[in-house]
Amino acid sequence: MLYVIVKAALSGVIIALVSEAARRSPGLGALIASLPLVSILGMIWLWRDTGEPDRLAAHAEATFWLVLPSLPMFLLAPWLLRRGLDFWLALGAGCLLTVILYLLMLQLGPRVGLKL
């Protein structure tokens, strides 16, 4: 149980760090948020829990391919915000776009040989 609490606390610290840094400097917050800290922590936890190189390799590769569909959200949301759309609607539209692109990736990826 302590292990789960440590994982959750460390993840929470990262989120708090990003939000505090972004409040002071949007660029710095974006830099920290763009670091693959969650992915790296996930790989560390997975390695500690399983010690299986093949599982970790599959996880890392799938993470790469599944990051790609999330990237357009970071272009759509600011574009909508700059055009006066409410924050929640812009965020929702970005999330909806991401879900649609994830579904497409999950459908098309295996057809071209990706193991997701």
Query: What confidence category does residue 69 fall into, taking pLDDT thresholds of 50, 70 and 90?
Result: very high
Q: Which residue has the higher pLDDT, 76 or 26?
A: 76
What's the pTM? 0.73
* Exposed e or buried b per residue across 2-33, where buried means at least 16 C-beta atoms within 10 angstroms of its C-beta: eeeeeeeeeeeebeeebeebbeeeeeebeebb
45 inside domain: no
26 inside domain: no
- Print the domain residue range for 103: 53-116
Answer whether residue 22 shows pLDDT above 90.
no
Domain tally, the chain: 1
- Mean pLDDT score of the chain, rounded to an integer? 91
Query: What confidence category does residue 43 fall into, taking pLDDT thresholds of 50, 70 and 90?
Result: very high
48 inside domain: no
